[in-house]
Amino acid sequence: MSLVDVKVPDIGDFDEVAVIEVLVKAGDTIKAEQSLVTVESDKASMEIPSTHAGVVKEMKVKLGDKVKEGTVLLTVEAAGAAAAASASPTPAPAAAAVAPPQPSPGGGASKPVAAPVASTYGGGADLECDMLVLGAGPGGYSAAFRAADLGMKVVLVERYATLGGVCLNVGCIPSKALLHVAAVMDEVSHFEALGISYGKPKVELDKLRAHKAKVVGKLTGGLSAMAKMRKVTVVRGLGQFVDPYHLQVEETSGAALEKTGKKQTIKFRNAIIAAGSQAVQLPFMPKDPRVVDSTGALELAGNPKRMLILGGGIIGLEMGTVYSTLGARLDVVEMLDGLMQGADRDLVRVWQKMNTPRFDNIMLKTKTVGAEATKDGILVKFEGEQAPKEPQLYDLVLQAVGRSPNGKKIGAEKAGVTVSDRGFIPVDIQMRTNVPHIFAIGDIVGQPMLAHKAVHEAHVAAEVAAGENSAFNARVIPSVAYTDPEVAWVGLTEDQAKAQGIAIKKGHFPWTASGRAIANTRDEGFTKLLFDAQTHRILGGGIVGTHAGDMIGEVALAIEMGADEIDIGKTIHPHPTLGESIGMAAEIAHGTCTDVPPVRKS
């Protein structure tokens, strides 16, 4: 028996990362390579595996701690042969989003591709294809369409009746349809001060739900039409791998996914797994219609007076915005020390100042420890720094504490595809899994779980399967909270630059100097750009204000192109626009902006 410290291994370019999940506790018996904690930077989350097998004696880190290479995570009592350390643990999954670009000379893969695996399934097939895509979310449909455009015979398998996955059906699109309505209602409510009054709004939830359904239907219907145009065969049902070349699909019907009993087997030469993720459900929350995840919240089943949002991330705050505008008072509980983790605090502060009136309680460094369904509501208990003394009663509780990948639900092991303890599928920079002809993309391969990341990964996977020399080597992936005001950021944040000791030069343009923002009566925001103090190249940027999400793409392009402050400042932006604020932030960094007071000479 010996006591061994298990430490954070080399985690690449990150100086410090936050512990967002602790997967073991003192007294647990653990295996070598078993995941111990999940850490998250702004770009990726990864699980840190154990170097040793044995019994956990003491945990040295807790949720929310910041760790770096060498930090001791826990001590383990390692026994006998098990005391031998695993050679060099690798954090998994190394999210493809931040995988460093690797050379892939001559159109080959980014790393030596393993030998093809053998088929073990002896039965026949009902359908054969060049490319099977499992899951029709933004990742899946984009992969299927790109593969078809590249000349492949494609089968797309989806368990629900409509294409588009979480994003189109119960995510990005319906939430934005509702957020738009909420933003207009909020805007109009301020018009009285400008001499225009409409009176108190009358909300008809049935019509609002119908509007949301129409928006979703227009997009999902469009996808079906495009699948037909590309001759992509869509098969409805629940897919499970039976070996590395066959998938069995059990037909499903209705919204509850009843099984009809009809099965078919699809034989494929290549496959792309795009089975996505689902909302994490806290085990102690009661099964009750007043406890919902984001999908339930989007149904707008009623008009709650008091609503609790569990988790202060983007999804919870977006849905909270909608419900609050429709009349709910909000509480939010978050285990970490701030809302909207990942964004610079100065951006979040502007949002928080404007949105504080929506909330009765913002409970940081606090967690929910129990809940009970009562006749009058859901009674919730809290623990932590800002926990109320008494349990609180809510008409609606929204669980928005993260999403877990579906990797363990698709029979991946039968295809020989490696899946991490938490259900992520590790991939290389070309989106290949450990099985050379099977790729994985989207939420199922790692953070950030965003539709635009899934789409780009999808194109790479389809192109690589078609023999093209493609790789996912995006420098940055933008993030947006579509709250009011919107908060958008991309690349290095100021907090990260500080933590990593990178000298930056900042251009901060306050919207109080933007003619358009003032004309819109929305000048609370700002645009900031961060440049490398030595090279002057842009490293990151953040925008808070109306339409911030529509503008952040320009900053992402500037980072991808290696632009400097002169490139951006000298690019003529149209006047008067909010987009102009990006050019002006660059001019401020360069010292040439004439729309703000002169810099005082020392």
Please tell me what DSSP assigns to residue 70: T
Residue 442 C-beta: closest distance to ligand FAD, Å: 2
Nearer to ligand FAD, 42 or 443 (CB): 443
135 is a site residue for ligand FAD (CB under 6 A): yes
Asked whether residue 315 is marked as a ligand-binding residue, the answer is yes
Q: Among 145, 160, 245, 531, which residue interacts with ligand FAD (rule: CB under 6 A)?
A: 160
- State the Cα–Cα distance between residues 588 and 529, nearest whole angstrom: 9
Query: What is the enclosing helix (H) or strand (E) of 229?
Result: helix 205-229
Q: Among 49, 54, 93, 140, which residue interacts with ligand FAD (rule: CB under 6 A)?
A: 140
Residue 136 C-beta: closest distance to ligand FAD, Å: 5
Q: Beta strands 329-333 and 306-310: pairing type?
A: parallel
Stretch of 71-79, 108-116, 354-362, 451-459 contacting ligand FAD, by CB under 6 A: 451-459
**Whether the bond into 405 is cis, omega within 30 of 0:** no
Structure tokens at 542: 């953040």
Using CB under 6 A, which residues numbered 479 to 508 contact ligand FAD?
A: 482
In order, the DSSP letters of 79-135 are: -GGGGSPPSS---B---GGGPPP---GGG--SSPPPPPPPP---S--SEEEEEEEE-
Q: Among 139, 311, 342, 377, which residue interacts with ligand FAD (rule: CB under 6 A)?
A: 139
* Number of other CB atoms surrounding residue 298 within 10 Å: 22
Q: Among 40, 42, 47, 158, which residue interacts with ligand FAD (rule: CB under 6 A)?
A: 158
Q: First vs last Cα of the chain: how many Å apart?
A: 66
Residue 150 C-beta: closest distance to ligand FAD, Å: 19
- State the Cα–Cα distance between residues 60 and 49, nearest whole angstrom: 15
Mark residues 43-72: x for contact with ligand FAD by CB under 6 A, - for none. ------------------------------
In order, the DSSP letters of 129-172 are: EEEEEE--SHHHHHHHHHHHHTT--EEEEESSSSSSHHHHHHSH
Using CB under 6 A, which residues numbered 395 to 424 contact ligand FAD?
A: 406, 410
Asked whether 47 and 37 are in contact (CB, 8 A), the reply is yes
Residue 556 C-beta: closest distance to ligand FAD, Å: 13
Please tell me what DSSP assigns to residue 424: -
For CA atoms 350, 353, 356, 362, the dihedral sign is positive
Q: How many CA atoms lie within 13 A of 425 on its CB side?
A: 33
Structure tokens at 191: 């018009």
Nearer to ligand FAD, 216 or 449 (CB): 449
Nearer to ligand FAD, 154 or 315 (CB): 315
**Residue type at position 373:** A
- State the Cα–Cα distance between residues 68 and 500, nearest whole angstrom: 11
By C-alpha distance, which of 449, 470, 426 is closest to 44? 449
Asked whether residue 379 is marked as a ligand-binding residue, the answer is no
Q: Is 416 exposed, middle or buried (0-12, 13-18, 19+ CB in 10 A)?
A: middle
Catalytic-role residue among 190, 246, 508, 575: 575
183 is a site residue for ligand FAD (CB under 6 A): no
Q: Where are the beta strands (DSSP E) in 400-460?
A: 403-405, 438-440
Q: Among 443, 484, 486, 523, which residue interacts with ligand FAD (rule: CB under 6 A)?
A: 443
Q: Which residue has the tokens 């790692």?
A: 446
Using CB under 6 A, which residues numbered 314 to 343 contact ligand FAD?
A: 315
Nearer to ligand FAD, 51 or 483 (CB): 483
Stretch of 102-110, 135-143, 217-225, 497-505 contacting ligand FAD, by CB under 6 A: 135-143
442 is a site residue for ligand FAD (CB under 6 A): yes
Asked whether residue 450 is marked as a ligand-binding residue, the answer is yes
Nearer to ligand FAD, 271 or 588 (CB): 271
Q: Among 57, 60, 159, 365, which residue interacts with ligand FAD (rule: CB under 6 A)?
A: 159
Q: Among 91, 239, 316, 583, which residue interacts with ligand FAD (rule: CB under 6 A)?
A: 239
- State the Cα–Cα distance between residues 573 and 596, nearest whole angstrom: 17
Alpha helices in 286-394 (DSSP H): 294-298, 314-325, 345-355
Distances (CA, A) of 428 to 233, 314, 349, 397: 28, 28, 37, 39
- State the Cα–Cα distance between residues 333 and 387, nearest whole angstrom: 9
Residue 478 C-beta: closest distance to ligand FAD, Å: 9
The length of the chain in residues reads 602
93 is a site residue for ligand FAD (CB under 6 A): no
Residue 236 C-beta: closest distance to ligand FAD, Å: 8
Asked whether residue 316 is marked as a ligand-binding residue, the answer is yes
Q: Among 59, 451, 551, 552, which residue interacts with ligand FAD (rule: CB under 6 A)?
A: 451
Asked whether residue 314 is marked as a ligand-binding residue, the answer is yes
Residue 133 C-beta: closest distance to ligand FAD, Å: 9
Nearer to ligand FAD, 56 or 450 (CB): 450
Mark residues 344-373: x for contact with ligand FAD by CB under 6 A, - for none. ------------------------------
By C-alpha distance, which of 270, 351, 346 is closest to 545? 351
Structure tokens at 190: 């301020």
Q: Among 8, 30, 136, 492, which residue interacts with ligand FAD (rule: CB under 6 A)?
A: 136
Stretch of 42-50, 130-138, 462-470, 527-535 contacting ligand FAD, by CB under 6 A: 130-138
> Of all residues in the chain, what percent are helix, strand and coil, respectively (each to 5)?
30, 30, 40
Asked whether residue 251 is marked as a ligand-binding residue, the answer is no
Asked whether residue 140 is marked as a ligand-binding residue, the answer is no
Number of residues interacting with ligand FAD: please give it, by CB under 6 A.
36
Is 575 known to be catalytic? Answer: yes
Asked whether 135 and 113 are in contact (CB, 8 A), the reply is no
450 is a site residue for ligand FAD (CB under 6 A): yes
3-state SS assignment for residue 191: helix
Residue 134 C-beta: closest distance to ligand FAD, Å: 6
Asked whether residue 334 is marked as a ligand-binding residue, the answer is yes
Nearer to ligand FAD, 34 or 341 (CB): 341
Nearer to ligand FAD, 239 or 426 (CB): 239
Could you list the residues known to form a binding site for FAD, using ranges: 176, 239, 443, 449-452
| Catalytic residue ranges | 575
Residues within the interface to ligand FAD (CB under 6 A): 134-140, 157-160, 165-167, 171-172, 175, 238-239, 274-277, 294, 315, 406, 410, 442-444, 449-452, 454, 482
Could you list the residues known to form a binding site for NAD(+), using ranges: 311-318, 334, 402
Could you list the residues known to form a binding site, using ranges: 176, 239, 311-318, 334, 402, 443, 449-452
